[in-house]
Amino acid sequence: MTSQSKGTGAPVIILFGSPGSGKGTQAKLLTQNCLRGPHVSTGDMLRRHISAGDQIGDKAEALIRAGKLVSDEIVNELVEKRLDEPDCGNGIILDGYPRTLNQASVLLNMLAIRGLRPAVIYLMVDYEKIVARLSGRRQCPVCGTLYSLKTNPPKVLGICDLDGATLVTREDDREEVIRERLRAYDLQTVPILNYFREAGVPTVEVNGAGATPEEIMRQICDSLAGSGLIPAAMGKNGAVSETRVG
Ligand code: AMP
């Protein structure tokens, strides 16, 4: 088993959440409110390499377009280099990494060597709610404006308020496609969550629905403060609400 961190360093938050769970919003709120480190998304890093047209970008582009994972070797190296940049000294939020057991085990070693302390945050959202939310989205094919049939409908059903174009359902917002993405997410994520649990990494499960994004962020900050991963002053009252995934 991977050796554990020495417990003296900055927190490394490993953020898990299915498509539609509000993960991006939480990553942003957490960096603004209770974690000083950057939000690091391996997907964003790879896309930047593709835009730069470099060797990593060349290797990653076709795989990403085909919906396949980029090799462990490439992403592990990207993350390792990123961890050594000066802005990670106070911690970091990892998003989209690790995605395989190899990445998870390499990550724990990288953190142990650097004395950084990992914690998992798992944003759980009822899949039926995600399906309802995403499949109710409509987009204007002309200007790109997104509508929600429930929370933000157009003034005239099926018509864009801004340019009168007929709204469409994006391919990846079709119900079958959403369900397939959620299934794939589970298959990929559950073994990694179990791996971290067995390795003794603190895991915070948070209900990603039924509260405002700010309230969810506050719960996460309180849990992190309660487990000593961030200073108590950065959580509201330092209350422990840590749970284990199991
Ligand atoms: P994301 O923006 O996190 O959805 O990532 C977009 C794409 O980048 C994924 O579909 C993968 O092809 C690739 N990717 C991002 N992170 C990883 C990772 N940790 N391991 C392998 N491939 C990744």
Q: What percent of the chain lies above the pLDDT cut of 90?
A: 58
Measure the CA–CA gap between 241 and 83, rounded to whole angstroms.
28
Decide: 76 in ligand 1 pocket, CB within 6 A: no
Measure the CA–CA gap between 117 and 6, rounded to whole angstroms.
8
Decide: 50 in ligand 1 pocket, CB within 6 A: no
Decide: 70 in ligand 1 pocket, CB within 6 A: yes
Nearest CA to ligand 1 atom 15: 43
Whole-number pLDDT of residue 59: 95
Ligand 1 mean position, distance from CA 97 (Å): 8
Ligand 1 mean position, distance from CA 226 (Å): 31
Whole-number pLDDT of residue 240: 33
**Phi and psi (nearest 5°) for 143?**
-105, -5
What would the pLDDT profile of 17-35 be if each residue is shown by its tens digit? 988 888 888 998 999 888 8
Measure the CA–CA gap between 118 and 227, rounded to whole angstroms.
12
- Residue 96 CA: nearest ligand 1 atom is 3
Confidence grade of residue 171 (pLDDT, cut at 50, 70, 90): confident
Among 45, 51, 205, 22, CA closest to 129: 22
Measure the CA–CA gap between 122 and 191, rounded to whole angstroms.
13
Among 6, 48, 81, 170, the active-site one is 170
Fold topology of 11-234: Rossmann fold (3.40.50)
What burial class does residue 19 get, using C-beta atoms within 10 Å of its C-beta: 0-12 exposed, 13-18 middle, 19+ buried? middle
Query: Is residue 181 flagged as an active site residue?
Result: yes
Query: Is residue 99 flagged as an active site residue?
Result: yes
Decide: 96 in ligand 1 pocket, CB within 6 A: yes
Nearest CA to ligand 1 atom 6: 43
Hunting for tokens 């998870």 — which residue is that?
Answer: 104
Give exposure, 95-127, as e/b (b: 16+ Cβ within 10 Å): bbbbbbeebbbbbbebbbebebbbbbbbbebeb
What would the pLDDT profile of 37-93 be if each residue is shown by its tens digit? 899 999 999 999 999 999 999 999 999 988 889 999 999 999 999 999 999 988 899
Whole-number pLDDT of residue 24: 85
- Of 116-125, 140-149, 232-241, the poorest mean pLDDT is in 232-241
Two tokens, residue 49: 């390499």
Query: Is residue 138 flagged as an active site residue?
Result: no
Whole-number pLDDT of residue 107: 98
Residue type, 112: A
Measure the CA–CA gap between 40 and 238, rounded to whole angstroms.
25
**Domain residues of the chain, as ranges?**
11-234
Nearest CA to ligand 1 atom 8: 43
Query: Is residue 137 flagged as an active site residue?
Result: yes
Strand 39-41 to 92-95 pairing: parallel
Query: Is residue 170 flagged as an active site residue?
Result: yes
Query: What 3-state DSSP class applies to 115?
Result: coil
Two tokens, residue 51: 């835009």
Ligand 1 mean position, distance from CA 116 (Å): 23
